[in-house]
Structure 1
Amino acid sequence: MISRAYHATLFVLYQLCIVIGIAAMPLAIAARQAGFSLPIHRILATVEAAYENARR
């Protein structure tokens, strides 16, 4: 049961990171033009890896 709750929580966290990434796109574009980047891709990759590991 805990495994199922953990998997569901990771799925929600993964989806939330995707939504935040999409919503932050204008900010990310402005930041890139200013010379730095936001680490959203690293956060998403980490959550995706945890979600994939939990699925197995």
Structure 2
Amino acid sequence: MKSRVYRATLFALYQLCIVIGIVAMPLAIAARQAGLTLPIHRVLANVEEAYEATQP
């Protein structure tokens, strides 16, 4: 049962990270033009790895 809750939580977190990445796109474009990068891709990759590791 805990495994299902953990997997569902990771899935929700993964989806939330995707939404945050989409919403932050204009900010990321402006930051890139200023010479900065936002680490959203790293957060998304880490959450994706954790979610995929829970798959049976």
TM over 0.5: yes
Percent identity over paired residues = 75
Alignment of 1:22 onto 2:22: yes
Instruction: Find the counterpart in structure 2 of residue 7 from structure 1.
Output: 7
RMSD of equivalent CA atoms:
0.5
Higher helix residue share: 1
What secondary structure does 1:32 align onto?
A: helix
CA apart distance, 1:35: 0.2
Matches of 1:43 and 1:53 in 2, distance apart?
Answer: 16
Scaled by the length of structure 2, what TM-score is found?
0.98
What secondary structure does 1:55 align onto?
A: coil
What secondary structure does 2:54 align onto?
A: helix
Scaled by the length of structure 1, what TM-score is found?
0.98
Runs of 4+ in 1 over 3 A off after TM superposition: none
